[in-house]
Amino acid sequence: MKIDFIVCEDNPKTRRTLCDWLNPYIDDENIQLLLATSQPDEVLAVFEDNDATKICLLDINLNKSINGVALAEKIKNLNINTRIIFITAYAEWAVESLNRNIEPFAYLTKPLDRQTFDWHIKRLLKKIQEFHRSHLQDKESHLIKLEAYGRVHYKKVKTITYIETYHKEGYLVVHTLQGEKIIHKSRLNDMLDYLNTIYPDTFIQCYKSNLVNYHFIEAIDKKQGEIMLKNGTRLFMSRSKEVQEKIERKIMGDSYDQY
């Protein structure tokens, strides 16, 4: 799950303060400060080709051709799921945002208070994470269509343990929890892209010819370059430090960063 913070505030000092206060929440891998600006056009531009969850902290009084409420309305038209936090010294703007059906998550009134800021940010991040988890639970029931040579299989994505390239180019062997080996017409990179759309952050390309569902990994052997699955299957693992660390991070989750 990727989360991008966007700050649009015309006062340079306030903008720096907001960025400084956001810094403890940034981890560069999953949560980043994507943009800090005073220009509404720059904010709108990042929605063109970036699909991460967005949290926008918008000053209502921007002293530009549009104010923060109008900017939020444009943002919502581009991505209805964007979370909006308004920053203002004037409480009456709340009525205007309600009239435009913007439904901001919170209002931060000037002068800004750090404790209130942290309370809202933590609350919002928790809500986003809870939504993401429930979304993933819904995805667990998703079926994937596997087809080759006129035979079609429908399998739950969560039961796929690993996928490897077939001896014939353009085909794969999909291995399932039940021990099945299903031939599917697809290339490995295309399969990984597709799986990430329906069951994100679950399958890893552990080797040039293999994808693995990290939920089924029992152990890894860096020296031998192997992955051991819970059913005893052994897979090749890339010697790349980046790939190995990615696999470890997936297995260990939040506890990985403690070591």
Highest mean pLDDT among 42-46, 100-104, 140-144, 255-259: 42-46
Mean pLDDT value of segment 227-247: 92
What proportion of the chain, given as a percentage, has pLDDT over 90?
54
> What pLDDT score was predicted for residue 256?
42
Terminal-residue alpha carbon distance, the chain:
22
Residue 203's φ and ψ, nearest 5 degrees, are -100, 135
Region 244-258: mean pLDDT is 70
pLDDT at 229: 95
Residue found by looking up tokens 């995805």 in the block: 139
- pLDDT, tens only, 195-208: 887 777 789 999 99
What is 3-138's CATH number, 3.40.190.10, 3.40.640.10, 3.40.50.2300, 3.40.50.2000?
3.40.50.2300
Q: What is the pLDDT of residue 205?
A: 93
Q: Let me know if the fold of 3-138 is the same as that of 143-258.
A: no
Is the backbone of residue 248 left (phi > 0), alpha (psi -120 to 50) or beta?
Answer: alpha
Measured distance CA(15)–CA(61) in Å, rounded? 13
pLDDT digits (tens, 9 = 90+) for 36-85: 999 999 999 998 766 678 999 999 988 888 988 899 989 988 888 899 99
User: Going by DSSP bridges, is the β-strand pair 151-156/181-185 parallel, antiparallel, or unpaired?
Assistant: unpaired
- pLDDT value at residue 199: 78
pTM for this prediction: 0.55
More confident residue, 124 or 138: 124
Does the pLDDT at position 258 exceed 50?
Answer: no
- The CA distances from residue 205 to 193, 243, 247, 256, in Å, are 11, 8, 9, 19
Domain residue limits, the chain: 3-138, 143-258
Confidence of residue 257 (pLDDT cuts 50, 70, 90): very low
* Domain 143-258 = CATH 2.40.50.1020: yes
Residue 24, pLDDT > 50, answer: yes
Q: Which of 165, 177, 170, 173 is nearest to 216 (CA)?
A: 177
Model pLDDT, residue 248:
87
